[in-house]
Amino acid sequence: MKVLTLVEKDKLNDKLFVGWGGVYLVDGDTLFDTGERWEYLKNNAEILGVDLSSIKNVVVSHNHWDHVGGLSKLLVTGIENAYIVGDVAVPSSFTGKVFSCSDFTEIKKNVYVTGSRIAKYKDKDIAEQSLVIKTENGLSIIFGCAHHGLLEVVADVMSHFNVKSLHAVLGGFHLIDEDSRVVKCMAQQLKELNVKNVMPCHCTGYDAYKIFESIFSDDCQPVMAGSEFIL
């Protein structure tokens, strides 16, 4: 299943805009997060040949500015289903369906949301969900910012689907301010959990990325606006 990165904090060419929160197009019709600004999402979609009006589903990981900035304008392009969490605002003019899932839910064939999980961020509760993709290569997880814990979500997904390995984890791991010893321990634990590939980006931080790269070697891949993956 193809995942195309529409927005990230790094880019593959100069025509693309960069933004802090990642935006990922899954299987051509499902968008995970909307970035910090609609203009960034719209420009990059045009450059990368993506017709935003063909997207049927949008999944919002959590209600932070860099993940919901393009949502309101995206919702008027023909979106059929919006999967939100917490206090994410959906305009009353939206004519599609709105879902707020509390547990694992299949939103299309072989694509699932984990449902809302509550985490602490700057002493406040925040609801967040991740995306799970099932292919012949195994299960993969796409994170918004993993505020509720990278290892916790990985363990939860593996338990729910009763698997002994994951093909890939991709997205923001929220480790940019974490001590290097903690990051190294987490990366090693992912390796021990039999996670095959890691694609850390935006809020993971460059230093943490280097640690993941040192442990996963060629199985650690950079994620930039324009990056495409087959999961």
List C-alpha distances in Å: 79 to 54, 55, 96, 179.
8, 6, 6, 41
Domain that holds residue 23: 2-230
17 φ/ψ angles, rounded to the nearest 5 degrees:
-90, 150
Q: Residue 47 sits in a domain of what CATH number?
A: 3.60.15.10
Q: What is the pLDDT of residues 8-59, one digit of tens each?
A: 999 999 999 999 999 999 999 999 999 999 999 999 999 999 999 999 999 9
- Helix (H/G/I), strand (E/B), else coil: 193: coil
Q: CA–CA separation, 111 vs 72, rounded Å?
A: 23
Decide: 6 and 225 in contact? Cβ < 8 Å.
yes
Q: What are the pLDDT digits (tens) for 65-94?
A: 999 999 999 999 999 999 999 999 999 999
pLDDT, average across residues 171-193:
96
Q: How many domains does the chain have?
A: 1
Q: With bands split at pLDDT 50, 70 and 90, how would you rate the model's confidence at 123?
A: confident
pTM value is: 0.97
Query: Within the chain, what is the greatest distance between any pair of CA atoms?
Result: 48
Q: Which two tokens stand for residue 17?
A: 């805009």
pLDDT tops 90 at residue 120: no
Helical segments of the chain, H only? 38-47, 65-68, 71-74, 150-161, 180-192, 206-216
Write the DSSP assignment of 100-160 as a string of letters.
--SS-EEEETTEEE---EEEEETTEEEEE--EEEEETTEEEEEES--TT-HHHHHHHHHHH
